[in-house]
Amino acid sequence: MMRVDNDLSGFSIVSVIAGTISMFLWLIPALSVFSSLFTIYAGARGYDSEQGTLSKVGIYLGVISLSLTMLRSGLINGFI
């Protein structure tokens, strides 16, 4: 079955851009959590589009940024 709507490739591009931004924002946890979650969401939306590779990159960037944010928050708050 052929997919008719390939307009989801914009989400792939947005996920890479947002992932790059969230990699810099992990130093500010309040902003980084939201940008990382948005990056993962946008990457998941564009995963089956023509630009699926960009979505994978965006998802990886979002997961890495979210992990760094949680690690930084844990270290600052003394949980680790």
Please tell me the distance from the alpha carbon of residue 21 to that of residue 73, in angstroms, as a whole number: 18
Q: Is the pTM of this model over 0.85?
A: no
Give the separation between CA 28 and CA 56, rounded to whole angstroms: 24
Q: pLDDT, tens digit, for every residue of 15-67?
A: 999 999 999 988 888 888 999 999 999 999 988 888 888 999 999 999 999 99
d(CA 25, CA 51): 25
> Hey, what's the torsion of the CAs at 31, 76, 23, 43, to 10 degrees?
-70
